[in-house]
Structure 1
């Protein structure tokens, strides 16, 4: 089960949205730091397209933890990014760099990720790009 999470992060860092989608169940629940829960791969893909337009990010210092039965995993990492295009309701983008700690939590079933929850400190990000 950990392989799905490892592949997910490898695909993220490669900018490979189809690779990320391949790690997800069709009915994945995507819990973002701010906003509504997105259900299904189509909404996840839309989210990724939006993020790729507004941000360029690489995750480093990645540590993945997993439950003994393989049904859950968590990851801690640093987000190293560039703010490319202004995102609605957020400060104006001018190519600012940012670095902030973040974490993700996963549910897994039959080798696929069924839930992704991501957390980071939005106020810290806003402070860095303002």
Structure 2
């Protein structure tokens, strides 16, 4: 798959994510999607398959009044696409970690994508 095609798929996924368009996100995912979220190098969350991913996406959407991932870098490494991300969000609810509704979150990290058959097969988010 060409680099331009991969960029397009990832770009459309991030646009759908930012717009809370869950069906748009899911349309770009392989049925066997694997999602891992790492914080500080530690695996915090994992899903396997489109059903588990949908549940996570629907639950996550309720946590934010707004959210925006912005790509700040893009490179291919060992058959994967690594995307540097700036993340900005405003919470819609109070979180158990003490963050309150209306507070802004800002993070920098990266997402690693594996694409197979024109669909996203694996996503690893690192912050």
When the two chains are superposed, the root-mean-square deviation of aligned CA atoms in Å is 1.9
Given the alignment, which residue of 38, 50, 53 partners 2:59? 50
Structure 2 residue ranges without an equivalent (≥5): none
How far did residue 92 of structure 1 move? 4.3
- Residue correspondences, number: 117
Match of 1:124 in 2: none
Match of 1:28 in 2: 33
Given the alignment, which residue of 5, 9, 12 partners 1:4? 9
Supply the distance in 2 between the matched residues of 1:36 and 1:25 (Cα, whole angstroms): 19
TM-score with structure 2 setting the length: 0.81
Supply the distance in 2 between the matched residues of 1:23 and 1:119 (Cα, whole angstroms): 20
Structure 1 residue ranges without an equivalent (≥5): 121-130
TM-score with structure 1 setting the length: 0.79
Supply the distance in 2 between the matched residues of 1:81 and 1:37 (Cα, whole angstroms): 21
Question: Runs (4+) of structure 1 moved beyond 3 Å?
Answer: none
Q: Which has the higher helix share?
A: 1
Q: Which has the higher strand share?
A: 2
